[in-house]
Amino acid sequence: MTVHVLNILLVEDNATIAAQLGDFLAQAGCLVDHAASGRAALRLALDGHFDVIVLDLNLPDIDGVEVCRQLKAQQRYHTPVLMLTARDSLDDKIRGLSTGADDYVTKPFALAEVAARCQVLARRHLLHTERVVRIGPLAICRQSRQVQRDGHPIALSDLDFRLLLLLVEAAPRALGRSELMARLWGEQAPDSDVLKAHMYTLRQAVDKPFGFNMIRTVHAAGYRLQATP
């Protein structure tokens, strides 16, 4: 089986952190390019092709959130962005996710966790390129927005479809409530009860008529999709 070597752009102005993380990713078999500023990151990202961009928020010239916003607006193709920062407030996370970041890790972090998240983001990106996404008995067609489980069609509202697709693309990782709300509604996220209501209707459609629950609540982590009982 062919193993895909990840090509990663590491955007980090702290030389020590950049060296430690870059060396770890290289030892894990990744190809790593490094940028120490937002402008350098934009130049490399827009001129090259990367599987994942690891992006620090606290950069010396352009804030990482603005770098992410410009990348998403100017790139010819989607590249997953993992934000890496010391900021751990909910507002910072929502800001980052609402501008297009795909995942978020706060400092201090374990090098192995960053490497693992890069692998997950790269795999998830491959799912984005497939018209029909399958996980266990569930099949989702992005183009027609049709959903089936065990061959049976499932009718979903537009927002419930988007919610299910987020869970599918993240699987087996759990998505926290704040992350789901940021991805669904951006900075104008409503009360958390609205998310609970949509999760209820999604579960009624996807799980209730079938043999086991695919949508699981994970204590202190949020929700995740499980392919098997």
Which of 6-15, 89-98, 132-141, 220-229 is least confident? 89-98
> Position of tokens 């870059």?
22
Nearest CA-CA partner of 33 in 68, 7, 64? 7
Give the contacts of 62 (CB within 8 A, at least 6 positions apart). 37, 38, 39, 42, 70
Nearest CA-CA partner of 10 in 131, 229, 44, 134? 44
Q: What is the pLDDT of residue 3?
A: 44
Q: What is the pLDDT of residue 2?
A: 38
Task: Enumerate domains of the chain plus CATH numbers.
Answer: 7-127 (3.40.50.2300), 131-225 (1.10.10.10)
Are 40 and 64 within 8 A, CB to CB?
Answer: no
pTM comes to 0.59
pLDDT in tens, 160-203: 999 998 898 788 888 888 888 888 887 777 777 899 999 999 99
- Return the ∠ at Cα 216 (arms to 202 and 194), rounded to 5°: 45
